[in-house]
Amino acid sequence: MQPNLLMIEDDVELAEILCNFLKRYNIIVTNYEDPYLGISALSLTKYDLLILDLSLPGMDGLEICKEVRSKSDIPIIISSARSDLEDKIIGLELGADDYLPKPYEPKELYARIMSVLRRYKKSHSTCEDVSSSALLLKEESHTILFNNTPLTLTPAEYDVLGHLIKKNNCVVSRTELLNSTLSLNEDNESRSLDVLISRIRTKLGESSKEPHFIHSVRGIGYRLQA
């Protein structure tokens, strides 16, 4: 099946270059220069992934990210010339799965897209459920239950929490967690892992100051005790 992507990008020339490049890999991309039209399209059509610029006319991309995430768990890759670290952290905190600073080669965007979509394809394979006392990892349906209630997770959050569930009660290094999450890498995304852990903790109803499930192990990584 051809991946069907939505792009919100007001740089017409760049959008055309990216769309034509991704078309070589049988990836369909529909671009909207107007962010409001892009949001409307997302509510009318099922897309597999959103590529989102931040500097858009009439509406900031971070606001779009927040609005989209409040309604959908669609994977979001931010593609922006705003390389400020704070923008990157805020974007991830709002629910983006990856942040690709411009300029970049189209092939890198393709690699990031495939790394995110690959996680969804895992749901089509038959896997055994993995559980702890409070959390149940259902790999076949790509779902994690918390006290028998499905959690709403982004792909990156699912990867990190799923890996911790598999290693329940074991200390998992930061490197191992980064390697389990294809959209992150150890060189420049270490702080992004902390953001993901913080978001997961919030969804489990805990904080870093009073963790009940995910415990930080100084200098090493994290341990799930559930």
Which tokens go with 123?
A: 């749901």
How far CA 150 is from CA of 19, 163, 212, in Å, comes to 35, 17, 19
Report the CATH architecture of 135-224.
Orthogonal Bundle (1.10)
Domain limits, the chain: 4-125, 135-224
Task: Give residue 2's pLDDT.
Answer: 84
Of residues 183 and 135, more confidence is placed in: 135
Helix axes 85-93, 61-71, angle to 10 degrees: 20
The tokens 């220069």 sit on which residue?
Answer: 33
Which residues have a Cβ under 8 Å from the Cβ of 96 and sit 6 or more positions away? 52, 65, 69, 76, 77, 78
Task: Give residue 130's pLDDT.
Answer: 58
Across the beta sheet with 221-224, the strand order is 171-173, 221-224, 214-217
Local confidence band at 191 (pLDDT 50, 70, 90 cut-offs): low
Strands 98-101 and 130-131: unpaired
Task: Give residue 24's pLDDT.
Answer: 93
Cα separation, 201 vs 196, in Å, equals: 9
User: Where would I find the beta strands (DSSP E) of 33-90?
Assistant: 49-52, 76-80
Region 6-19 average pLDDT: 96
Residue 131 pLDDT exceeds 70 = no
Task: Give residue 84's pLDDT.
Answer: 79
Task: Give residue 129's pLDDT.
Answer: 53
Local confidence band at 187 (pLDDT 50, 70, 90 cut-offs): very low
Percent of the chain with pLDDT over 90: 50
Model confidence, pTM: 0.58
Task: Give residue 88's pLDDT.
Answer: 86
Q: What is the CATH number of domain 4-125?
A: 3.40.50.2300
Region 99-104 average pLDDT: 92
Region 201-223 average pLDDT: 89
Task: Please write the tens of the pLDDT for every residue from 111-121.
Answer: 999 988 886 56
Residue 184 pLDDT exceeds 80 = no
Closest CA to 110 of 213, 14, 25: 25
Task: Give residue 123's pLDDT.
Answer: 43
Q: How many residues does the chain have?
A: 226
Task: Please write the tens of the pLDDT for every residue from 47-89.
Answer: 999 999 999 999 999 999 999 988 888 899 999 988 778 888 9
Local confidence band at 125 (pLDDT 50, 70, 90 cut-offs): very low
